[in-house]
DNA sequence: TTGCTCCTCACGTCACGTGAGGTGGC
DNA sequence: TTGCTCCTCACGTCACGTGAGGTGGC
């Protein structure tokens, strides 16, 4: 931090813009004790230094890691309550390790989703050239264009089962058979 | 779906377990018109077929893609209101394309986070062997163990700035200089 | 003085969580 | 009959969003 930077106080709107959060969010972080303005003007305007930008971005990262704001509070309290340096560091390490594992699990889920989406797009692409006389119900499971008739991607197949497509003539009595 | 599977109705708790959601969530999807039991027992118990498992998993995928439940409602309505098959398919395609882009952006953010976390863990590892006489404030920015003294990972450096570590003797008057 | 930014309540929203009080089902 | 599952309200929570009504600052 340079002296020049310290001489440019940020107002809450500037801070919000700098970090991509809303003013309301900044106020909330303050209520929760995660962030405080260095001072206020006589009129009550909050004033921040550039440090606040780093702090809010840090909060954002922890949120992306899956921490709730309440957990971030606790995390800071743990840190401040810790004794020696190495001890505090090892506590933090354990938390980060758990979050790294969780982040990787999330990434794996998203990668699977990405594949699903790509497969769905490929499937839908081949529908573009189809004759408009086909009803949409046919498209979920057609055997044109080399489609495997039984295997529309799950994201496409999931469009089935809407109420308007249910056949009301299928008897359902067997479901309640033997149940009073 | 086999006939045998159709003969095994699921109760709401079975369905919830099968999809990893709560009963409350299932009820909510029903309130929003996203899912309905095929029938009810005379006592009012909801009964589902295996189709419901696919439907709820489909809802879950759309949620992971960043859709709100209200958006999923609209998505279904669009589908049901669409005219010809190919036309409906192209609408769905546009939505999926947008979601694929968004999913990739999210994955990129998480990958950056993963790097951050790994760097932080590496940094903290070297603290394990440090003497316990060091105060934690020193650890955020030390020059032992080959650390670049000015460059603790952001996730570690962010622990700075807690109220208990502020130096109250730093004059802040310059911040309000020239501001009434 | 005008227009923009800020202030503090305080209620709304989204996707559920969590009882309360009562009943079905083997 | 016991114990488990289910039912319907209905209020709580989390991270903000969104005004309402008023004032600061160049």
Cβ contact, residue pair B96, A64, below 8 Å: no
Q: Which nucleotide is nearest to B59 (CA to C1')?
A: C15
Confidence at residue A165, expressed as pLDDT on a 0 to 100 scale: 43
| CB contact burial B31-56 (16+ within 10 A = b; e otherwise) | eeebbbbbeeeeeeebbbbbbbebbb
Task: Write the pLDDT tens digit of every residue in B6-28.
Answer: 568 999 999 999 999 999 999 99
A158 touches strand C (CB under 7 A): no
pTM listed for this prediction: 0.84
Confidence at residue B146, expressed as pLDDT on a 0 to 100 scale: 59
Task: Write the pLDDT tens digit of every residue in B94-123.
Answer: 999 999 999 999 999 999 999 999 999 998
Cβ–Cβ < 8 Å for A49, A59: no
Helix/strand/coil for A127: coil
Task: Write the pLDDT tens digit of every residue in A56-85.
Answer: 999 999 999 999 999 999 989 888 877 666
Q: Among A54, A86, A129, select the one facing B128 at the smallest CB separation.
A: A86
| CA gap A155, B59 in Å, rounded | 9
Confidence of residue A133 (pLDDT cuts 50, 70, 90): low
| CA gap B66, A83 in Å, rounded | 42
Neighbours of A139 (CB within 10 A): 24
pLDDT at A101 over 80: yes
């Amino acid at each position: 931090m340079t002296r020049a930077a310290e001489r440019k106080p940020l107002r809450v709107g500037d801070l919000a813009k700098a970090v991509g959060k809303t003013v309301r969010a900044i106020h909330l972080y303050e209520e929760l004790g995660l962030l405080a303005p260095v001072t206020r003007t006589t009129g009550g305007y909050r004033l921040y230094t550039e440090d606040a930008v780093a702090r809010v971005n840090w909060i954002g990262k922890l949120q992306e890691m899956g921490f709730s704001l309440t957990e971030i509070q606790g995390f800071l309290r743990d840190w401040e309550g810790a004794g020696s340096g190495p001890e505090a560091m090892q506590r933090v390490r354990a938390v980060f390790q758990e979050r790294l594992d969780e982040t990787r699990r999330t990434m794996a889920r998203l990668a699977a989703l990405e594949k699903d989406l790509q497969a769905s797009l490929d499937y839908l692409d081949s529908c573009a050239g189809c004759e408009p006389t086909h009803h949409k119900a046919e498209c979920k499971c057609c055997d044109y264009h080399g489609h495997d008739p039984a295997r529309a991607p799950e994201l496409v197949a999931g469009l089935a089962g809407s109420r308007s497509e249910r056949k009301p003539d299928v008897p359902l009595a067997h479901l309640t058979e033997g149940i009073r």
